[in-house]
């Protein structure tokens, strides 16, 4: 069930319409404290959708929403669930996104 929901939700996290993208990130930020470690089955699918393009976005609203989501993940999920997906993404990112994710890993 969770996979079906997030399979449908994931494309909104990198929608070409910036308003849709930002609202999806803000919704994700609200869901994380409610779902907590129940997100573990979909975390490997969500991290790339949250990080790709959003942490390097020139749109300040999207960038802020993405950093809020990353912060919420760090606060509400077991850090061991985040270590591998964060490391994997940090290897292939550049610019501000790489710096932000590397700081979270540290």
**Residue pLDDT, tens place only, 15-63:** 999 999 999 999 999 999 999 999 999 999 999 999 999 999 999 999 9
Q: What does pTM read for this prediction?
A: 0.94
Beta carbons of 12 and 20 less than 8 angstroms apart = yes
At 25 the pLDDT is 98
Residue 69 has pLDDT above 90, yes or no: yes
Q: How many domains does the chain have?
A: 1
What confidence score (pLDDT) does residue 106 get? 85
Can you give the residue range of the structural domain that contains 63? 1-104
Mapping DSSP onto H, E and C, the string for 33-88 reads HHHHHHHHHHHHHHHHHHHCCCCCCCCHHHHHHHHHHHHHHHHHCCHHHHHHHHHH
């Amino acid at each position: 069930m969770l996979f079906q929901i997030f399979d449908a939700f994931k494309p909104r996290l990198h929608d070409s319409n910036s308003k849709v993208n930002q609202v999806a990130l803000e919704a994700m930020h609200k869901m994380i404290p409610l779902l907590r470690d129940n997100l573990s089955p979909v975390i490997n699918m969500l991290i790339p959708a949250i990080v790709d393009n959003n942490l390097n976005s020139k749109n300040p609203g999207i960038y802020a929403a993405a950093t809020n989501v990353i912060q919420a993940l760090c606060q509400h999920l077991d850090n061991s669930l985040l270590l591998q997906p964060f490391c994997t993404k940090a290897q292939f990112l550049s610019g501000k996104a790489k710096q932000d994710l590397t700081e979270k890993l540290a």
